[in-house]
Every structure is written in C-alpha cells, then in structure tokens.
Amino acid sequence: MQHLIQYQSLLLNTRVYLGDYLHALQILKARDVILITDENLKSLYPAFVSKFKHILIPPGEESKSMDMLNHVLNQLFEMKASRDTLILAFGGGVVTDLAAFAAGIFKRGIDFVLMPTSLLGMADAAIGGKSGINFYNAKNQLGLIKQPLFTFIDTQFLRTLPYLQFLNGLAELVKSSLIFPGNSWDFIKTNQESLMKTQPETLQVVLDEAVQNKLQLVELDVSDMGKRQLLNFGHSFGHAVEANEKILHGLAVSKGMIAAMKLSVAAGYLRLNQAKSIASQMEALGLPVSFTFKAEYLIYLEQDKKCSGETMNFVFLKNPGEAFIEKMTLSQLKSLAYDARSISF
C-alpha cells in the first residue's frame, strides 16, 4: 500500500486522505454503505463497485439534474437506507456533487464519503463541502454546503482517465496555483513535462498543496460569502463558455481564466507581459487559451450565482499567487469587457 497522508480540519469536522484506496475500505468496513457511481466506472472497476450495494447513474453533466436527484433518492428509499447508512460517492465531479447533495437532504442528512476518480474531483470538486445540481439552464443553482465524513484521493484512478478529462482537471490545478501564495505555479512551470505525462509523484505534489490551500480557505469562509469566492477565479466567464460551447467544465474555466486576466489587464491590475507569460504556459500544458468576449457571455453573467441584483463579486489577478475580489456592477463589468476586447495573448 502507498503511504497514507492525512489532513484533518477540526473546524470543518472532515478529513482528506491521500493514498491507497484500500485504506478507505478498512475505515468503511463497519458501516452500512451504499455506493453511488456512474455506468462507466462500474465497467472499469467492477470488483470494487460490486463490494457494495450501489446506485448507478449515466455518465456526463446531464446527470446533475433534478430528474437524476429524484432517481437517486427513490433508489435510497427502495434500498431501505436509514439514518445510519453511509453514502460512498465514487466518481468524478458529477457523481460527487449529486451524491453529496442527495446525502445532505436524505432524512435531513446522512454521512457520506467522497472518493473522486477524476483529477477535477481530486483538485477541486470533492474538497470544500459544496454539492449541487444544475437547474433552470444554469450551473449549480441548487445545492448545499455540507462536509463529507472524509475524502479519499488515490491518484491510481487517474490511470483510466481519458487525457481530455485529465486536462479538464489540470485547469483547476492551474487555477489553484494562480490564486494561492506558494510555490505551485513555479513548480508547474518547472515540471511541465512530467505533469503532461501524468506522473503520479508530480501530481501528488501539486494536489497536496491544492488540498491544503483549499481547506484553509474554506475554514475561513465556510458559507462562501467572502474570501472563499477567490476559488471562482475564471468561473464567471467559464460557466458562460461551458453553457454556450458545451465543453468540459475545466476547459471552460481555462478560457474563463484568460477572460479574467484580460479584464485584469484592462483594469490595470495585471501587467500585459505577465498575462502573456501565464497564457503561454497554460497553452504549453495543453489548455485552451482562446477567448473572445461575446454578448451572450455577458448576458449569462446575470444568471451567475455570485450575482446579487446589479452587482457581482469578480476575481481579478495581480500576479501568480495574488488574486483578489472586487465588487462590481454588471454595467462596470460589461464596460471593462468592452475595453478588454482588443487585448490579445
């Protein structure tokens, strides 16, 4: 077995483990477990999934829906789940979001454990306690914040991850390295080749720092009303791109980070040569860096859950490791986007 690394947050009453998933089986063996996963993962890991009573959902973003939430809840009742049942979410961000939301509302809340199998889940979706589904043609409009009993991250699951999905998660690791002080951005630049080859040892270093940084930020702002919104860097326009271009979340966030950097340059917060350097490194990692401000993206901002009336909190970048939140009116943001149209990198 791999060495087990543990992070514990007493404030959040949750733990994150990095290591061999077989350790998780030891921790779970005394519980009544119902596993929730998607059909692809059952075909990839049939022996593991079959160890538990399980509920299957179709793979893909379409499963983050009210219909699928009803399906999961109905299955839990049919399987006679109780307040003592523990939900094990085994999958990417769609599975962990949906399963955690179902666990949070079933019988007013039951214990759940997250075991992400995608880099996006390991880097972001399974850390911090957020869960939810898409609603009214917008991203994550229904959900709650409830911490898992623990999250178990095992990078060996990435061996079966399609490379496009790997890039999907790499975008969130890049986001983390850009908004948090530390050495992650420099480490990513220095170890670009091994990252692109998905070498576990390199991924472990970047994930280690990303997990610690996110837990510490969530501890400061559990309810997502203040500093935690730094995690939304690239997401305001990223969600608009995701909805309009129908591309993977992380790849849309990559484009959204380019948008945020263009706005940061237009506002005078970020030097143009610094923005070009970051964009060049992102492109070298295989991430999409093309972004054009479109009218439909600006309209979509009005549905953003960070929007309150005519204002929204937007995350700007000064330097790698130095991001900040500024409250802006939608008119100000649209005007800034107009100014940023001619900026290219």
Output the domain CATH number for residue 135. Answer: 3.40.50.1970
- Count the domains in the chain: 2
CA distance 39 to 115: 16
Same domain (yes/no): 302, 181: yes
Q: Which residues form the domain of 265? A: 177-340
Q: What is the pLDDT of residues 111-129, one digit of tens each?
A: 999 999 999 999 999 999 9
Q: Which two tokens stand for residue 2?
A: 């791999």
Q: What is the pLDDT of residues 284-314, one digit of tens each?
A: 999 999 999 998 898 888 777 667 778 899 9
Strand 322-329 to strand 311-319: parallel, antiparallel, or no bridges (unpaired)? antiparallel
Does some domain include residue 345? Answer: no
DSSP secondary structure letters along 193-221: HHHHTT-HHHHHHHHHHHHHHHHHHHHH-
What pLDDT is stored for residue 304 in this prediction?
A: 72
CA distance 258 to 288: 9
What pLDDT is stored for residue 4 in this prediction?
A: 79
Q: What is the pLDDT of residues 162-195, one digit of tens each?
A: 999 999 999 999 999 999 998 899 999 999 999 9
Angstrom distances, CA of residue 253 to CA of 22, 239, 243, 259, 268: 33, 7, 11, 9, 22
Domain termination residue (choose one: 161, 192, 209) = 161
DSSP secondary structure letters along 287-316: --------HHHHHHGGG-TTEETTEEEEEE
CA distance 296 to 51: 47
pLDDT of residue 36 exceeding 70? yes
Tokens 């007493």, residue? 10
Same domain (yes/no): 140, 251: no
Is-contact 169 133, C-beta < 8 A? no
Does some domain include residue 171? Answer: no
What pLDDT is stored for residue 1 in this prediction?
A: 47
Taken in order 91, 234, 164, 284, is the CA torsion positive or negative? negative
CA distance 234 to 257: 4
Same domain (yes/no): 318, 234: yes
Q: What is the pLDDT of residues 216-267, one digit of tens each?
A: 999 999 988 899 999 999 999 999 999 899 899 999 999 999 999 999 999 9
Is-contact 146 109, C-beta < 8 A? yes
Same domain (yes/no): 53, 192: no
Tokens 């959902």, residue? 57
pLDDT averaged over every residue in the chain: 93
Same domain (yes/no): 20, 152: yes
Same domain (yes/no): 138, 229: no
Q: Which residues make Cβ contacts (< 8 Å) with residue 343, sequence separation at least 6?
A: 262, 265, 266, 272, 275
Angstrom distances, CA of residue 342 to CA of 190, 287, 303: 31, 22, 26
Whole-model pTM? Answer: 0.91
DSSP secondary structure letters along 130-177: EEEEEETTEEEEEEEE---SEEEE-GGGGGGS-HHHHHHHHHHHHHHH
Same domain (yes/no): 116, 207: no
Is-contact 140 134, C-beta < 8 A? yes
Does some domain include residue 166? Answer: no
pLDDT of residue 93 exceeding 90? yes
Vertex 274 angle, CA 271 and 275, to 5°: 85
Same domain (yes/no): 138, 256: no
Does some domain include residue 22? Answer: yes
Same domain (yes/no): 41, 153: yes
Q: What is the CATH number of the domain that holds 276?
A: 1.20.1090.10
Same domain (yes/no): 139, 183: no
Does some domain include residue 57? Answer: yes
Angstrom distances, CA of residue 163 to CA of 139, 160, 205: 24, 9, 20
Give the Cβ contact number of residue 266 at 10 Å.
Answer: 19
Domain termination residue (choose one: 135, 161, 187) = 161
Helix 66-78 to helix 93-105 angle (10° resolution) is 60
